[in-house]
A and B are shown apart, each in its own frame.
Chain A
Amino acid sequence: MSQQQETETDKLLTSEVRVVNVGLREFARDLSACKIQVVHVDWSPPAVTNPKVASLLAKLGG
């Protein structure tokens, strides 16, 4: 690969960083504090493995 050819990965490292942060809100806060554009997605891995319990939780808004 020629040194002159810029890959997509190279572009990521040289262009302005824009972040979609999934899960831990603290990471998004830290990036914001550094004036980096970030969108936070409030998500956590499902704690419930029993499908019946998960279905009930969904109905109860838990």
Chain B
Amino acid sequence: MAGPSLSEKIAIANAEAHRRLLSGDPVLVDVQLAREAIPTLPDRTILHAGPPIQWDRMCGPMRGAVAGAIVFEGWARNLADAEKLAASGDIRFEPNHHYNGVGPMTGMTTRNMAVLVVENRAFGNRAFCTVNEGMGNVMRFGGNDQEVVDRLKWMATVAAPALGAAVRHRKGIPLKSLIARGLSMGDEMHMRNAACSSLLVRELAADLAETAPKELPRILRFISGNEMFFLNVVMAMAKSITMAAHGIEHSTVVTTMARNGTDFGIRVSSTGDNWFTGPAQMARGLLFAGFTEADGNVDIGDSCITETVGLGGFAMAAAPAVVGFVGAGSLADAINYTKNMTEITVGPNPEWTLPTLSMMGVPTGIDILKVVSSGILPVINTAIANKLPGRGQIGAGVVSPPMICFEQALMKFGEMNGAL
């Protein structure tokens, strides 16, 4: 009797990928220095957002952030020397994703930066994301002056040990139920994290008071003053979930989407560590007063790992408030964005439901076959960075990957499975 056809194998593998995406049990277990959390992270190495890229092709914000990270680590005394060092080839650049990490916007991670540690207890893997710095002049937008470096040092030496102690004191914070509550409170977890950031402070406050009473006021002000604090938590969570769905033979489910400010890259469950890349696009949306599209950088950051697990643009129906902010229209448009994503995903997530869609689960598990055959691209909610380093955010919008990423991935899949 003939065995299952390739189409049947794909269906079985994608059902398994979907099952793994849904059955993850992500728990925030610690906040540590990157060199403690990721012992394999080498010295004089900078992890960045998106697919692999070297200095000569990096955009302005990425170059600014790299120079700042070099000064932060003490590898150069000033920014001018840092840029020379970055261009010399003596600094190694690698994607966060190669170390089970993620980072928003430029996504800088070096050994002495603080990272959030999320453990997927259902599968025993861990993922990492730097701690959100707040808004304005920050390294994720390419900021690199003394204010930025000093803040990162305070985060690494004061805030991270205190937060880590508080998280360990309460033996971790389960995140799946927190996300479910956030979705019902108007967060889509990419461009709106107001509810979940508040919920996290509520979870942590008492433990912080016990483990770090001296630093409590400043740490609470730091977290409470930043409605996007939870973004980095949800990113580490999403990475921990997608890791479990990677490496399933015959699966055409996307396990990574990321951008480095020049290229957009995806990786797919059954095609190993190959990146499939194309030019990153300019987001369409609302710009802050005084800016034009010419001021913006193309799409950047690992934060679309949120869409990869069904949040962000895929859950836009949960967050009417963000629809206007990203210039995506009305609530009806937000609902349509989410409904469209059901066309390119394996199925809903019944644990993360959307009140505006009669508690439909968020569409989960992007299938490259469905993307290519339908022509429908994943929708991503995103911040828009100034193309000049250190100038911060100039707006927010909606963006998609280029189709070429999915076509390349499909061709590789066909080649690996003798279907070409």
Contact surface of A with B, Cβ cutoff 8 Å: 47-48, 50, 52-53, 56-57, 59-62
Contacts and interface: CB of A to CB of B under 8 A. Distances in A.
Given A56-B419, A56-B420, A62 B373 contact: yes
A47 B6 CA distance: 22
A50 B403 CA distance: 11
Contacts of A57: 369, 372-373, 410
B379 to A, nearest CB: 16
Given A47-B372, A47-B374, A53-B372, A60 B411 contact: no
Given A53-B407, A56-B410, A60-B414, A48 B419 contact: no
How many of chain B's residues touch chain A, expressed as a range?
10 to 19
Contacts of A56: 410-411, 414, 419-420
A25 to B, nearest CB: 13
B101 to A, nearest CB: 32
Contacts of B410: 53, 56-57, 60
Given A56-B419, A56-B420, A60-B6, A47 B373 contact: yes
Contacts of B7: 60-61
Given A56-B420, A60-B7, A48 B372 contact: yes
15 contacts: A47-B375, A48-B375, A50-B407, A52-B411, A52-B420, A53-B372, A56-B410, A56-B411, A56-B420, A57-B369, A57-B410, A59-B419, A60-B369, A61-B7, A62-B370
B10 interface: yes
Nearest to B417: A60
A53 B411 contact: yes
Contacts of A53: 372, 407, 410-411
